[in-house]
Amino acid sequence: MLTPDRHPPSRARRRTRLSLRPETLIIVTAVFLTAFANFAFFRNARQAFNDDPQLWLHLASMAVVLGCALVLLFAIAGIGRALRPMLTLFLFLAASSAYYMDTYNVIIGDSMIQNILETNYQETLDLLTPRLFVYVVLLAVLPALFVWRVSLDRAPNWRRGLVRRILLIVGALLTAVVAALPMSNFYASFIREHKELRYYSNPTTPVHSVYRHLRGLKHARDPNQLLVAVGSDAERPAVDEDRELLVLVVGETARADRFGINGYARDTTPELGKLDIVSFTNVHACGTSTAVSVPCMFSGLGRRNYDAEVAGNRENLLDVLENAGVSVLWRDNNSSSKGVADRVEFQDFRKPEVNPVCDVECRDEGMLHELDQWVDAQGSRDLLVVLHSMGSHGPAYYKRYPPAFKRFTPECETSQLDECTDEQIGNTYDNTIAYTDHFLAQVIDWLKSKSEGFETAMLYFSDHGESLGEYGVYLHGLPYQFAPETQTHVPAILWLGPSLDGVDLAAVRAARDAPYTHDSLFHTVLGFFELDTGVYDPKVDMLRYNDREPARAHLLEKRQAVTGAP
C-alpha cells in the first residue's frame, strides 16, 4: 500500500516564494528608502533650488546618486548572513528618522542621537505619537517582513559571491558618476552653497551620526581614571566678611526674542518686568541641544574649543568651586546634569515624593522646597545652588506650565505640532515663557529673604533656543553651523541683592546689549565668588567691578602664566 508523500507540497510552496539575489534585495531596499524615507531631503532641496529651470531633472539626478549611496552602504555593511539583520536595522532607523525629519524638519546629527539616547521616560512618551507608529509600520515593519520572507538566491561559493558584490559596488559607483557628471555645475553649487542639505539624506546621516556617537562612547572616560585638574590654584579672599549665595538657573529651550523684557510684543515676563534685573539681550549658546550646551557652559573650554571627550576627562566649574571651599548643590527638574554634577550634591526633583509642586508633571518652582534647610546646614561656607529647570522643553509645550498660565490661546494641546497652526504653537510656547517668568521671580523672592546674611545674586541662562516653524523647522538640535538664530540666541538674566558691593551696576546695565556667549558663565561665577585662579578670565566676566582693577590686572597676569592666553 502506497503512503502519500508529504514533502512535495512543502517543496511546491517553497518554489512559489519570491527568490532574489542578495544584490537585488539591496537594490530594492535602497530604491524603497530613497523614494519613501527621504521626503524631507527632497522637500528641502526643492526649496533651495526653487528657481532652477532644470529643477526636476536635478532632483532626479540627486535621487539616483542617493540611491547609489544607499546601495554602497548596504553592500558593505550587509555581508553574508548579516544582510537581513543589517537591512532590518537600517529600515527601522530610516523609518524613525523620516518621521522626525518630515514632521519637525530636524537633522538627525550626532548630538540629536545623544539627545534621543539620554531622553527620560516622560519625554519619550511625549514623542510617541500615532503618526510615528504609522511611519514605523509602513517604512520598517512591512518592508522588514519582506526582507525576511523573500528567498535569497545566494552564490554557490564565496568567490562567486565576492565577485557579485564587487560588481554591485562598481555598478553603483559608475551609475552615480553617470548621473552626476553631466550636472557638475549643479553639484558644485550643491556642495558649496547648500551643505546643510546632505544632512537630510536618510538613513546615511543617521547611520553616520550613530557611528560617531558610538565612537565617542568608546573613548568615554574610565571612571577609575583621574580627572585633569582645573583651577587647582583657586584661592578665596583672605578677608571676606560676607558670605556669597548664588542661585544659577539653567533654563531649557528658551528663546531670547520671546521675552517681554527683551522687547517682545507680548508681555510674557510681567513679574520680571517689575524687578530690578538686567536682561542681557545678545547672548548665544554653546550648542543647540542640552547634551552639548550644559557640559560646555560649565567646562571652561569655551564654544570654539569645546570637545565632549576632553570635557568629560577634566574637572568643571563645580569642581573648582567645591575644591575652593564653596558648597555646591544641583537640583534637577530636567533629564539630568549631563555629567556636570557627578561629583557634587545632586537632588532629583522630577518625582512627587521630592517635589511638592506636581500636577501632570513636576514644576520648576518645586525646586525651592526646603532649600532653607540646606542653606542652614552649610555652616559658614559660600553657597552655589544650581536649578536645572524643565522650562520650555518641546514638543509637548502644553505640559510645561500649570493651568493658571494658560494666558495665550488657542493652545496646541498635542506634541504632534503638524496638527496645530503656527498661532497655536506660538501661544503655547509663550505660555511656557510666562511660567519661566514666574519661576524666576520666585527664585528672586527667596533670595531676598537671604539678603541679610549673604551677598546674593541670581544668574539665569537658557541652554539653547527653539525653532517654532520658521523656515519649516521645529524644535532644536541642528548642527551649529547651520542652526538658525532662534536656536542659538538665548536669554540671560541677572539679579543682584542689595548687600552685594563692589559691582558697578551702571556698567553692567550699559553692557546689556554687548555680545556674550555661554563662555561667560564659567568666569562670571568665579568672579562672583572672588576666587583668585589662573583659569578665571575677567575680560568675559559679565559683572563689572568698580573696586577690583588691581585684582583684575593681577588675575590677567596669573591667567597668562597658567594658560598662556593673552
Residues in CB range of 310: below 8 A, 6 or more apart: 301
The count of other CB atoms within 10 Å of the CB of residue 539 is: 13
Phi and psi at residue 244, to the nearest 5°: -100, 140
In which residue ranges of the chain is pLDDT below 50?
Answer: 1-9, 12-14, 547-548, 550-551
- CA–CA–CA angle 119, 121, 126 (5° rounding): 85
The closest alpha carbon to 295, from 309, 311, 319, belongs to 311
Give residue for cell 539653547: 464
Q: How far apart are CA 75 and CA 166, in angstroms?
A: 9
**Exposed / middle / buried, residue 231 (Cβ in 10 Å: 0-12, 13-18, 19+):** buried
SS3 content of the chain, % helix, strand, coil (to 5): 50, 10, 35
Kindly give the pairing relationship between strand 516-517 and strand 277-284: parallel
- CA–CA–CA angle 10, 11, 12 (5° rounding): 90
Q: How far apart are CA 468 and CA 465, in angstroms?
A: 10
Q: How far apart are CA 153 and CA 132, in angstroms?
A: 34
Q: Are 436 and 262 in contact (CB under 8 A)?
A: no
For the chain, state the CA radius of gyration.
28
Q: Are 209 and 108 in contact (CB under 8 A)?
A: yes
Peptide bond before residue 538 is cis, with ω within 30 degrees of 0: no
Query: Where in the chain do CATH 3.40.720.10 domains reside?
Result: 243-563
What pLDDT sits at residue 221?
58
Q: How far apart are CA 89 and CA 78, in angstroms?
A: 11
The count of other CB atoms within 10 Å of the CB of residue 39 is: 14
Give residue for cell 504609522: 134
What pLDDT sits at residue 170?
97
Kindly give the pairing relationship between strand 345-348 and strand 489-496: unpaired
What pLDDT sits at residue 119?
75
Q: How far apart are CA 462 and CA 251, in angstroms?
A: 4
Look at the chain and count its residues. 566
Q: Are 332 and 348 in contact (CB under 8 A)?
A: yes
What pLDDT sits at residue 550?
46
- Looking from the CA of 191 toward its CB, the CA atoms found within 13 Å total 7
Q: How far apart are CA 413 and CA 415, in angstroms?
A: 7
String of b and e for 258-290 (b: at least 16 CB within 10 Å)?
bbbbbebeeebbeebeebebbbbbebbbbbbbb
Q: Are 529 and 328 in contact (CB under 8 A)?
A: no
pLDDT in tens, 171-202: 999 999 999 999 888 888 888 888 889 899 99
Residues in CB range of 390: below 8 A, 6 or more apart: 252, 333, 334, 361, 362, 363, 364, 400
The closest alpha carbon to 476, from 122, 115, 197, belongs to 115
What pLDDT sits at residue 220?
61
CATH architecture of 243-563: 3-Layer(aba) Sandwich (3.40)
